Amino acid sequence: MADQEPSNPDKKAPGPARRSTFRDRTETRSMSFLGTKYDQAPVSPQAKTEMLSILSFLEEFEDELEDAIDLFAPNPYLRMTLHLMQGHFEARTITPTSLIGASQVPYATANRRLKEMVEAGLIEQRPRTKTGKSFSMHPSEKLLERWMQLSGRVRRLGEAKFGGRERGRDAKDYYYAASYMSAQSIPPLKVLAEPLKAPGGIRVLVHGDPTFMVMDNLKRQFEQAVGTNINQRAFSIDRLREEALRNAERPASRYDIIALDLPWLGEFATRDILMPLDEIMDVDRLDPADFHTAGWKAAHWGGRPYGVPAQTTPELFFYRKDLFAEAGLAPPATTDALLDAAETFHEPLRGRYGIAWNAARGTALGHTVLMTMADFGQPVLNLPEHAGGFDTDQLAEGDHRVVIDSEAGLRAAEFLMELLKYSPPDILSMSWYERVRPYAAGQVAMAYGYTLLAPYFELDESSPAADQTGYLPHPHGPGARNVAPVGGYVMGIPANLAPERIETAVEALLVFTSPEAQKLYVQNGSRTNPRYSVGADPEVRRASPIFEAVDAMSWRDELQFWPRPPIPEICDIIQICGEEFHDMLRGVVTPREALRRAQDRADAVMR
């Protein structure tokens, strides 16, 4: 936790607290990107919320009034509220003494005003010690909601009276009823009324990607919210699965919460690695209707929820809007149009290539194969068709057959062979992060990529792709429809967690996946979001066009998880496809032979 704020009535509240990276407790995968080594997510240059700016403005305005007119006395209610809110946003511990000091009025007067604010339900007290004699002070939900409304009104008034770069748009929205959405802004993360009791702190196992590294960066805020330490370990995707499986074999879980890739859910459920959430909590507390439909359904197995979507990150098609405009090309909706565009932009002699994608041997290429088959209307299993795609409700019943060696599979294989012609020379070693590097550097005009990778060019002002990227679902093949394959992670509770820790783990899970937490991730650089309410938040919308684009895809039913159905054998099937199709791309085998070999090996796994 942060150090206690000293009591000094003449001293302004300090600036932002230093970020705690707790590297001694976090193992991450380093990512070399654009000449920079990233071992944590990039932090947004606009990470501070507008409310923090409003706080600073009001504090300085109060100072100016008091300095200009001697008869103006400090307003202890306002001074203490400003200090309390700033401490909350910056994850600093605020004590009664520091609030009284911030009031700038005599001690007795400030103490009375503080008690009045507590009695009015504006401030909550949380015990800091077992004796209950020492308290930390926190804004109540009532105060947070009122502060949200005030912040919006102050900003709109300032822009309306004095102008500003967003005045035209916001003023129009305000007076034509769109301000209703602003009124629905998600409030800041609030603290739990009672601190969680977890010996050793909350222990979390996650993937070392930008969103979970944002959680790392925000450790102090979350520790303040839950009232205890948080210990996070992060691994690359393959090592994450290995550690989760190893943890399941232990007599008692080392982790209270684990993150898992969506395709693993069937395996983790059938092997009793995760607890069904409906056994240990009231699932309605999660507000299931607020999650993107595909992400919420993907967290179920046999009709029961085993995890909570922590990040819903579809794989999209990234393209350079400026280059397409210069070439007079429309954004590609079909695979044929994509190949035409790739050929247009492919100029190896000038160091520019058409497209980048996951083509590294194994897991990376395996995911590409399944998603490309989906682009041609073919799931990897013989799933029954229904409106909007394919039915996944009966996956837990088993009795499925792998479908790789098919006409749609052949078209997908031939498409990848064509794509190879317009790709960088090192494409066969490119995987998750490596495919975004040349796109961010301006070396390729298009790329397939998860939304979680967008910060690597959206937040890099030197990137040619910054502010010039369009987001589309995958272009489709003949007779198929647009699909944005859903990826990302859910967070669940290990089945072997000690019983006395379950209730605490549930409460922490609710905090980590709440709308307030999801908004905080976005404000600090994340580009993933599993909830409709977060995507509709005006501050989130201003952070990136990606949220509006993904919400629109969800409403059009383009977000789908059937391209990678989470059956227990899916990891083996992905690995097989990643090996056989890599041989095909290297010219070792023909497309038809690669399909046959992958089919035979996958059939053996299913048997």
Write the DSSP string, 283-341.
Answer: GGGG-GGGB-HHHHHHTEETTEE--EEEEE--EEEEEEHHHHHHHT-PPP-BHHHHHHH
Which residue from 567, 555, 554, 520 is spatially nearest to 540, judged by alpha carbons? Answer: 520
| Same domain, residue pair 282 and 320 | no
Can you tell me the distance from the alpha carbon of 34 to that of 87, in angstroms, rounded to the nearest whole number? 35
The CATH number of the domain holding residue 447 is 3.40.190.10
| Same domain, residue pair 304 and 322 | no
Contact 201, 228 (CB under 8 A): yes
| Same domain, residue pair 168 and 155 | yes
Handedness of CA 476, 482, 484, 486 (dihedral sign): negative
How much is the pLDDT for 375?
97
The three-point CA angle 534-540-545 to 5° equals: 110
How much is the pLDDT for 202?
96
Burial 254-275 (b: 16+ CB within 10 A, else e): bbbbbbbbbbbbbbbbeeebbb
With a cut of 50, list the residues of the chain below it in pLDDT: 1-49, 165-183
* Domain membership flag for residue 561: no
For 541, list phi and psi in degrees, rounded to 5.
Answer: -60, -40
Domain end: 152, 183, 214, which one? 183
Using a 10 angstrom Cβ sphere, with 0-12 exposed, 13-18 middle and 19 or more buried, the burial of residue 236 is: middle
| Same domain, residue pair 341 and 276 | no
Can you tell me the distance from the alpha carbon of 111 to that of 97, in angstroms, rounded to the nearest whole number? 9
* Domain membership flag for residue 35: no
Using a 10 angstrom Cβ sphere, with 0-12 exposed, 13-18 middle and 19 or more buried, the burial of residue 414 is: middle
Torsion angle defined by CA atoms of residues 87, 90, 91 and 97, in that order, rounded to the nearest 10 degrees:
-20
Torsion angle defined by CA atoms of residues 566, 567, 569 and 571, in that order, rounded to the nearest 10 degrees:
0
Which residue from 444, 497, 422 is spatially nearest to 272, judged by alpha carbons? Answer: 497
* Domain membership flag for residue 19: no
| Same domain, residue pair 469 and 333 | yes
* Domain membership flag for residue 599: yes
| Same domain, residue pair 471 and 497 | no
Write the CA distances from 37 to 18, 31, 33, 235, 598, integer angstroms: 21, 6, 6, 16, 37
Torsion angle defined by CA atoms of residues 434, 489, 519 and 546, in that order, rounded to the nearest 10 degrees:
50
* Domain membership flag for residue 410: yes
Write the CA distances from 552 to 391, 455, 535, 545, integer angstroms: 22, 20, 10, 11
| Same domain, residue pair 139 and 234 | no
| Same domain, residue pair 509 and 498 | yes
How much is the pLDDT for 388?
67
The CATH number of the domain holding residue 172 is 1.10.10.10
Q: In which region does residue 303 sit, left (phi positive, over 0), alpha (psi from -120 to 50) or beta (all else)?
A: left
Write the CA distances from 518 to 44, 216, 470, 473, 512, integer angstroms: 15, 14, 23, 23, 8
| Nearby residues of 457 by Cβ (< 8 Å), 6 or more positions away | 436, 439, 440, 463, 465, 466, 469
Which residue from 10, 74, 75, 28 is spatially nearest to 237, judged by alpha carbons? Answer: 28
3-state secondary structure of 207: strand
Contact 292, 557 (CB under 8 A): no
pLDDT digits (tens, 9 = 90+) for 47-84: 344 566 777 777 777 777 777 776 667 788 888 888 88
* Domain membership flag for residue 228: yes
Count of alpha carbons within 13 Å of 273, Cβ hemisphere only?
Answer: 27
What's the pTM? 0.72
How much is the pLDDT for 379?
96
| Same domain, residue pair 460 and 367 | yes
Domain end: 154, 183, 212, which one? 183
3-state secondary structure of 450: strand
Domain end: 156, 183, 210, which one? 183
- The structural domain count of the chain equals 3
| Same domain, residue pair 346 and 215 | no
How much is the pLDDT for 70?
66
Which residue from 374, 447, 360, 362 is spatially nearest to 411, judged by alpha carbons? Answer: 374
| Same domain, residue pair 332 and 476 | yes
Q: Give the domain extent around 57.
A: 47-183
State which amino acid sits at residue 473.
P
| Same domain, residue pair 377 and 302 | no
The three-point CA angle 563-384-564 to 5° equals: 15
* Domain membership flag for residue 527: yes
* Domain membership flag for residue 349: yes
